[in-house]
Structure 1
């Protein structure tokens, strides 16, 4: 299982966001993409933040209560983003996921440029496929 790499199981075409986008537009993108969250990138595709459904929900509830216009992605995004590299191992990432809370990790190159995202579901699927392949080989 050490041969399983993030690059082989990541989503290479995730929904992405920019800091000027409204929270409502971000919510629409999350719903259409069926993602729980996604990376916020600058014009060069460098990851500068992350926005989740939870972030959007909290802000939209607050804005509804105060009858205010919603904020931008830049207002609600998290700037402290846990990322992984495409060459990282799936097992190592799975162990990280047991400790850290993010359900989706941006996959970046060595310069911080976005390559894709990988979710807990992707990691589970990768490990499940590998285990099934070993069971068939043994049978």
Structure 2
């Protein structure tokens, strides 16, 4: 029997989240504690407003060091224009688009923009492998 290729079967339902008003060092702490390369940025209502990557954090720290200024808040460094996916999206299509854009993760949202999960390259790799090796 052919296995599912829907997002809902491979995504993480509890991604690391930070808020735009969080200090960048709080966000860095979360990335290090959970050993992830990025976090979803959500507002108080749980709606996706951006993504914060390790590279964003490095940019914040190096810029502050160079300029001898405070590091600042997540909102100053996060990526605001985020490509997200929906629960019903096909993982092969999402994987192809992530390769095209060189993205390592995509937030999964409801139609109204509420964050409900995240999918990473590793999760997609497992899903595509399952699909490709299913011979029944």
TM range (shorter): over 0.9
Measured after TM superposition, the shift of residue 125 of structure 1 is 1.1
- Worse-matched range after superposition: 103-112 or 60-69: 60-69
- Aligned residue for 1:127? 128
Instruction: Report the TM-score when normalising by structure 2.
Output: 0.92
RMSD of the TM alignment (CA)?
1.5
Aligned partners of 2:7 and 2:91 also within 8 Å: yes
Aligned partners of 2:3 and 2:131 also within 8 Å: no
Post-superposition Cα deviations, 1:72-113, rounded to whole Å, max 9, x if no partner, equal 001111110110001100011011112112211000000000
Question: SS at 2:14's partner residue?
Answer: coil
Aligned partners of 1:22 and 1:73 also within 8 Å: yes
Post-superposition Cα deviations, 1:32-63, rounded to whole Å, max 9, x if no partner, equal 12211121111111101111000001110111
Matched ranges for 1:9-88 at <5 A: 9-88=10-89
Give 5+ residue unaligned stretches, structure 1. Answer: none
Aligned partners of 2:42 and 2:48 also within 8 Å: yes
Q: How many residues align?
A: 135
Check 1:51–1:85 CA distance in 2 against 1; reply closer, same or farther (3 A cut): same
d(CA) in 2 for partners of 1:95, 1:2: 19
Measured after TM superposition, the shift of residue 133 of structure 1 is 3.2
Give 5+ residue unaligned stretches, structure 2. Answer: none
Measured after TM superposition, the shift of residue 2 of structure 1 is 8.4
Question: SS at 1:84's partner residue?
Answer: coil
Question: SS at 2:18's partner residue?
Answer: coil
Aligned partners of 1:38 and 1:104 also within 8 Å: no
Question: SS at 1:96's partner residue?
Answer: helix
Instruction: Report the TM-score when normalising by structure 1.
Output: 0.90
